[in-house]
């Protein structure tokens, strides 16, 4: 299928959309699709996409994801190894092929004033609050963001009121069980009102071998003094495509930490954009990508220091084997008025084969003169001396490589503050490295 035919197919799918939804969404969707059709799919001629070719997505025959019986999603949910089905005390919202599955969800006792549920339901119930947010087009938007705005079927709406600290983490589970190649467009909105606190785990998984395309958008809004600890775990099928955008906006003295953990997918692209709009705001972006075979993973991050006295920390690590490819493009912008900015950025990569390839490009754009900023990147292989040392202590070659690899990843994995998630991730990584 040609790209023009693919866009025409998407237009047909857009025009044939049905179902009840808030009336104000119709013009928002139409404008978003018009922007997408005008821009088209990005190509390697676009600077931001020159190392990531999305032609397999653009030329793919992805239909609308159908409703699914709940037996397979239930098995997928149990197979994650963490979450409510594994004994974790959490508020769990499950979505199957982009639609809320209340039968699989486990909300528990939700504190008064906290909103947890379907975004589509919330859009109809509170249009005055959600219309300005869902109709906003950020400067960092991509054609995939516009397509999501036009096509999303549902997603999670999480709102914690002022002064409330949510004890249990919120687990958003997105499961794909498509029989035929299909596109899924989840849209999530997370709002932490002033002086609130919450932890969110966002997990994507699919049936092994399933071919599908997830095009997700998550927006996080942290009001004054709010604290949000966010984890994203991408465990898609190894034949799936995963394109995701995360938009963070922060008010005065707020703090957002995001941990992006990308293990699955044939092609994965993560755009993470943080706008520091209030003095004293703090953002942390940590990432770990572990890929093999012919997997391709791309992280593009933008941290925009717009006001003075803000802090950002960024650490991304990659482990690549086989003929896999990784891309890291981290951009830190310090505006002219953003004096006293403190920003550090680092990308480190470990190549376990001669065929693995990484393209890394950390960037600083500094327009202020009273700042502390640093950035750097490394690409290397396992240290032969360290391997020799472990082998001389009677440790086998495979185990020695695994020990050094796990030690490399630990700098990121140990920063996960939810014990059950950290333990499950560590077990999965050990199994993956041993395979």
3-class DSSP state of 10: helix
- Evaluate the CA torsion angle 405, 410, 416, 418 in order and state its sign: positive
What pLDDT is stored for residue 63 in this prediction? 85
- For residue range 347-362, what is the model confidence (pLDDT) as tens digits? 999 999 999 999 999 9
When pLDDT is cut at 50, 70 and 90, the band that residue 427 belongs to is: confident
- For residue range 265-311, what is the model confidence (pLDDT) as tens digits? 999 999 999 999 999 999 999 999 999 999 999 999 999 999 999 99
Which token pair is 195?
Answer: 């002086």
**Residue 130 and residue 122: Cα distance in Å, rounded?**
8
- For residue range 44-75, what is the model confidence (pLDDT) as tens digits? 999 999 999 999 999 888 888 876 666 788 88
What pLDDT is stored for residue 280 in this prediction? 98
Helices and strands (DSSP H and E) totals, the chain? 10, 21
- For residue range 121-147, what is the model confidence (pLDDT) as tens digits? 999 998 888 999 999 999 999 999 999
What percent of the chain clears pLDDT 90, i.e. is strictly above it?
80
What is the DSSP pairing of strand 342-351 with strand 212-222?
A: unpaired
- With CA atoms as reference, report the closest residue to 360 among 294, 432, 301, 422: 301
What pLDDT is stored for residue 150 in this prediction? 95
Give CA torsion, residues 48, 54, 57, 59, to 10 deg.
120
Q: Write down the H helix ranges in 182-289.
A: none
Q: Is 4 exposed, middle or buried (0-12, 13-18, 19+ CB in 10 A)?
A: exposed
- Does the pLDDT value for residue 337 go beyond 70? yes
What pLDDT is stored for residue 426 in this prediction? 86
283, 255 contact by CB (below 8 A): yes
What pLDDT is stored for residue 223 in this prediction? 98
- Does the pLDDT value for residue 435 go beyond 70? no
- For residue range 364-412, what is the model confidence (pLDDT) as tens digits? 999 999 999 999 999 999 999 999 999 999 999 989 998 999 999 999 9
What pLDDT is stored for residue 355 in this prediction? 97
- Mean pLDDT score across all residues of the chain: 93
- Does the pLDDT value for residue 115 go beyond 60? yes
- With CA atoms as reference, report the closest residue to 230 among 270, 268, 269: 270
119, 189 contact by CB (below 8 A): yes
Which token pair is 387?
Answer: 């391997």
- For residue range 219-262, what is the model confidence (pLDDT) as tens digits? 999 999 999 999 999 999 999 999 999 999 999 999 999 999 99
Q: 100 forms bridges with which residues in the sheet?
A: 95
In which region does residue 116 sit, left (phi positive, over 0), alpha (psi from -120 to 50) or beta (all else)?
Answer: beta
- Does the pLDDT value for residue 434 go beyond 80? no
pLDDT, average across residues 331-338: 97
When pLDDT is cut at 50, 70 and 90, the band that residue 2 belongs to is: low
Q: At what angle do helices 419-434 and 397-413 cross, to 10 degrees?
A: 150
For residue 216, give every residue at least 6 positions away whose Cβ sits within 8 Å of its Cβ, in sequence order, or none: 148, 155, 174, 184, 185, 186, 187, 188, 204, 242, 243, 244, 245
- 100 φ, ψ (degrees, to nearest 5): -65, 130
């Amino acid at each position: 299928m040609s790209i023009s035919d693919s866009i025409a197919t998407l237009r047909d799918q857009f025009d044939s959309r049905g179902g009840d939804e808030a009336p104000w969404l119709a013009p928002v969707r139409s404008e978003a699709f018009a922007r997408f059709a005008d821009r088209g799919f990005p190509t390697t001629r676009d600077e931001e996409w020159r190392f990531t070719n999305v032609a397999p997505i653009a030329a793919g025959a992805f239909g609308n994801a159908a409703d699914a019986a709940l037996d397979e999603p239930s098995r997928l949910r149990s197979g994650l190894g963490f979450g409510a089905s594994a004994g974790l005390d959490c508020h769990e919202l499950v979505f199957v092929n982009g639609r809320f599955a209340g039968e699989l969800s486990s909300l528990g006792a939700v504190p008064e004033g906290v909103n947890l549920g379907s975004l589509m339901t919330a859009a109809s119930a509170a249009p005055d609050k959600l219309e300005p947010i869902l109709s906003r087009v950020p400067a960092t938007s991509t054609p995939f963001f516009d397509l999501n705005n036009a096509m999303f079927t549902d997603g999670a709406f999480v709102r914690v009121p002022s002064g409330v600290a949510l004890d249990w983490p919120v687990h958003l589970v997105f499961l794909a069980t498509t029989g035929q190649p299909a596109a899924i467009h989840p849209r999530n909105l997370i709002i932490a009102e002033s002086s609130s606190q919450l932890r969110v785990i966002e997990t994507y998984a699919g049936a092994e071998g399933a071919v599908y395309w997830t095009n997700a958008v998550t927006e996080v809004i942290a009001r004054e003094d709010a604290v949000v600890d966010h984890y994203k775990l991408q465990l898609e099928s190894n034949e799936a495509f995963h394109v995701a955008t995360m938009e963070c906006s922060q008010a005065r003295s707020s703090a957002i930490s995001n941990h992006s953990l990308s293990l699955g997918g044939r092609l994965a692209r993560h755009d993470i954009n943080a706008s520091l709009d209030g003095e004293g705001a703090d953002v942390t972006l940590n990432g770990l990508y572990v890929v093999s075979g012919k997997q391709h993973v791309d992280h593009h991050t933008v941290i925009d220091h717009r006001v003075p006295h803000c802090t950002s920390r960024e650490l991304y690590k990659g482990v690549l084997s086989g003929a896999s490819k990784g891309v890291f493009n981290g951009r830190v912008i310090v505006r002219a008025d953003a004096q006293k900015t403190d920003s550090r950025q680092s990308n480190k990569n470990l190549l376990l084969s001669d065929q693995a390839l990484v393209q890394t490009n950390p960037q600083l754009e500094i327009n202020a003169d009273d700042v502390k900023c640093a950035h750097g990147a490394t690409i290397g292989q396992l240290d032969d001396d360290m391997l020799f040392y472990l082998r001389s202590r009677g440790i086998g070659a495979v185990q020695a490589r695994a020990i050094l690899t796990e030690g490399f990843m630990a700098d990121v994995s140990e920063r996960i503050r939810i014990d059950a998630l950290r333990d499950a991730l560590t077990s999965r990584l050990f199994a993956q490295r041993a395979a």
